[in-house]
Structure 1
Amino acid sequence: MSLPDFLIIGAMKCGTSTLQAQLAHQKGVFMSTPKEPNYFSDDQIYARGRSWYEALFADAAPGDLKGEASTHYTKLPTYPQTLPRMRAMLDAPRLVYMIRNPMVRAVSHYIHEWTEGRVGSDAREAFHATPEIAAYGFYGMQIAPFAEAYGPDRILLTSLEQISADPEAAFAEIRDFLGLPYGAAWVHDMPAQNVSAARMRRLPMQGLLIDNPVATSMRRALVPKALRNWVRARRTMTTRPDIPDDLQDRLKAEFLADRARLAELFPGHPALELCYPFAPS
């Protein structure tokens, strides 16, 4: 059967696109297209059926390790059916869960929501109206059901901080966990993927009015470049937003409570220190 041997299951805004690209570059590894099938999480995609999902891996060569990377799989409470569906199809997959400083991740997520036009520039209001911005960084809560279902030994916890500090060592751990050939190694000249340092805010009906060749040609012909640049700058968040101190304190307390749950599952893991610099010493 054409089913994956491993899945990168998140977390969102933690470098999973870069890791997926690194794995896809390795000999003997086949990664799905699209990168994020979101098959087990999204109802409309799951309705396409098992044959659709298997077809994503049908072109893998004999002996290839097959994988996919869907951050939706660790987005509770948004996608509650992910794990039951996965268990019904995959007996013992290897799971890679990539995390980062949850405060930094939350800010990156907030920027993402802002660029998509779903929240405004008031951070306090955005975090209140969109609790998922914090919830997707409750890593202990997100990964615990997978650990219970498959066992902690089927999960590799890693972090963006580990890869940034020592990509060779971090990737070697991933290589050994997945069973890649010993020569598989981090590719240094491959750029980071899906970087969101500066994103442009989407406009209502952008696909119809902005993102099409006719509109682009007319805009370039009729609107002076200086004015286009000014509008683009007004729609781009180029600096990290300020999070009010009291909101930061509340979020840090919640993240630290969740960190205790993560520590129970992965005691002594380096990510517990690297990803939580605000934890009391």
Structure 2
Amino acid sequence: MSKYPDFMIIGGMKCATSTLHEQLALQPGIFMSEPKEPYFFSNDEVYIKGIEWYLSLFKEASENDLCGESSTHYTKLPTYPQTIKRLNQHCPNAKFIYVMRHPIDRLISQYIHEWTMRVISVDINSAVDQHQELIDYSRYTMQLEPYFETFGSDQVLPVFFERMLTSPQEELERVCEFIGYSGQPQWDFELDAKNVSTQRLRKSAWRDLLTETPGLRELRRWFIPKSFRDWVKDFWTMKQKPKLAPENIEKLEAIFDQDLAKLGSWLGIELNCKNFKTMVKESERNWVSVPQKFFSNSV
């Protein structure tokens, strides 16, 4: 009998979802998919592979294992509009973990990622105007509302990046309790943080060919001094953290404060860009009040 996932980490992008995925994978009795982000319910080109392909990602799980995956595309509206409908069709009883961080910090981290992948080539201040997704993926209530409306808030757990940094063991225990894990989870402090954006090189097909092809790699090490290799490497490295102009910070705070006010009302706290990091670190945050209209369980 095919096993369906019991839970999914649905985002947000650049909020330490990879770290949480790896920590859960280390717990006995939890099986996490490989690849980490199958994107099955979001990406059309993956969805056409069919549900049996997706379920094969969990075929190595033991009968009593809790199964999970982590696809940040599942909270990338409006880029992937079919996600909720597909999730409700195939996994109506799944639980969803949504990791959030300060919305401007998340935006900057996404920009660095997109710059390294050559999706974005302009500076960050131009990118904010030209790439709406940088803003949309940090509008957490916009991303969560369809989940509340379709599944109800009891199937969605809010997790905050900033609290995971300061209280990782407690947050792991809270996540495991939410997904129904009966064991005693342990956070592995030896596990390195995943996907550190500031350590990334910009994507380059010909550079990767020269540096990763086995024969060429040995020749490069033998005949090209390391000092010269490091000098060349600098051409693909983002040397300074992108800095938003004051007027753009003001603009973004106005947008995100409106979104955070609604998120805060659901959590029973007052929340905005200025107090975000302090408020989410203070204690566990769970849904207190979500508008009744989001309990209709309709697609």
Equivalent AA in structure 1 for residue 203 of structure 2? R
User: Residue 191 of structure 1 corresponds to which residue in structure 2?
Assistant: 192
1:207 CA displacement: 5.0
Give the Cα–Cα distance (whole angstroms) in 2 for the partners of residues 232 and 273 of structure 1: 37
Residues 234/121 of structure 1: CA separation in 2 closer, same or farther (3 Å cut): farther
Residue segments in structure 2 that go unaligned for 5+ positions in a row: 280-299
Residues 271/174 of structure 1: CA separation in 2 closer, same or farther (3 Å cut): farther
Contact 2:261–2:270 under 8 Å retained in 1? no
Deviates most, 103-112 or 164-173: 164-173
Give the Cα–Cα distance (whole angstroms) in 2 for the partners of residues 54 and 212 of structure 1: 34
Give the Cα–Cα distance (whole angstroms) in 1 for the partners of residues 107 and 40 of structure 2: 25
User: Residue 227 of structure 2 corresponds to which residue in structure 1?
Assistant: 226
User: Residue 90 of structure 1 corresponds to which residue in structure 2?
Assistant: 91
Residues 274/153 of structure 1: CA separation in 2 closer, same or farther (3 Å cut): farther
1:62 CA displacement: 1.2
Contact 1:102–1:275 under 8 Å retained in 2? no
User: Residue 65 of structure 1 corresponds to which residue in structure 2?
Assistant: 66
1:169 CA displacement: 1.7
Give the Cα–Cα distance (whole angstroms) in 2 for the partners of residues 29 and 271 of structure 1: 35
Contact 1:159–1:275 under 8 Å retained in 2? no
Map 1:25-174 → 2, pairs under 5 A: 25-120=26-121, 122-174=123-175
Are 1:16 and 2:17 counterparts? Answer: yes
Contact 2:40–2:47 under 8 Å retained in 1? yes
Alpha-carbon displacement from aligned partner over 1:129-178 (angstroms, at most 9, x marks no partner): 22111211111101110111000111000111111111122122112111
Equivalent AA in structure 1 for residue 48 of structure 2? A
1:199 CA displacement: 1.5
Residues 85/6 of structure 1: CA separation in 2 closer, same or farther (3 Å cut): same
TM-score, reference length from structure 2: 0.86
1:202 CA displacement: 1.6
Equivalent AA in structure 1 for residue 171 of structure 2? A
1:92 CA displacement: 1.3
Alpha-carbon displacement from aligned partner over 1:205-257 (angstroms, at most 9, x marks no partner): 55555543344345445544322211112321243111111111111111111
Give the Cα–Cα distance (whole angstroms) in 2 for the partners of residues 274 and 169 of structure 1: 22
Q: Secondary structure at the match of 1:201?
A: coil
Name the % identity.
38
CA RMSD, 1 decimal: 2.3
Give the Cα–Cα distance (whole angstroms) in 2 for the partners of residues 22 and 130 of structure 1: 32
